[in-house]
Amino acid sequence: MLVLALLLLFWAQSARADVWVYMDEKGDAHFSTRQLDERYELFSHSGQGFDTGAPPADGRTAREVAVPTSQRRLQIFFDVSPSYKSVRHHLREASKRHDIDLELLQALIATESGFDARAVSPRGATGLMQIMPATAQRYGVRADRRSTVQAKLFDPDVNIATGARYLAYLIKLFPGQLELALAAYNAGEGAVQRAGNRIPNYKETQDYVATVMRLYTLLKPPVLVTELRSTPQRLRMELPGGAARRGNMLAPLPSTVATNDTTERDY
């Protein structure tokens, strides 16, 4: 049962929460843990689960877990989103270059900006992955006579390349603890470290981590579960919940923290 236990552990790591969503006039989806206003409708309930149903009639012990309705609906949101489709190739490139799941990048950007490449937060976090100009400068984005750093971050190629590089650094900084890497992306790694390597007690950060983890869980392909028993039986995997408001801030790296990736990319 070791394989099954590991799979169940993966699902259990995601936070529980309901997911609310609204579609804007451009056809892009925006997600939240709460109904922020009347535009938001309940998308997925935290109690929803995977269920394989009855065992196969031929007695096989390997079965594919059924895809929940919310997973199919979520994929439709991306399939019809013109903003997502226009940057999909940038996500694939960043996924391969930094060895980050494509679905994780999808979930993070959906939470950060709703795939609005022109999004700017009140604090100046910019573009798809809501990057602060100071952070971008640390990763090789330079101002020149033609353009400021913030203006360059409106370019999806620059934004995704920079944000994925920063996320890859955080994943290495907190190995095997994806939720902490996401918390650091939102609040800064210093905040996570000061909290004793835990998610800081900030409502925004807690909601943010729950959002990304929930969407990431839904976007992953169905799991093929192999039971290590001779007698097939019904298997039920609980689908964790979670979602959060969008437009979170990406704090700049503290000047005393050096990144693991020292190669700069000039824009």
Catalogue the active-site residues: 112
| Residues present in the chain in total | 267
Rg (CA), the chain: 19
DSSP 34: S
Rounded to 10 deg, the angle between the 178-187 and 156-173 helix axes is 130
Enumerate long-range contacts of 56-61, CB under 8 Å, 24 or more apart: 56/232, 59/232, 60/232, 61/226, 61/227, 61/228, 61/229, 61/230, 61/232
d(CA 227, CA 55): 11
DSSP, residue by residue, 67-82? PPHHHHHHHHHHHH-H
- Between CA 100 and CA 43, with CA 113 as vertex, the angle to 5 degrees is 90
Residue 105 and residue 125 in contact, taking contact as beta carbons nearer than 8 Å: no
d(CA 165, CA 93): 12
* φ/ψ of residue 9, rounded to 5: -65, -40
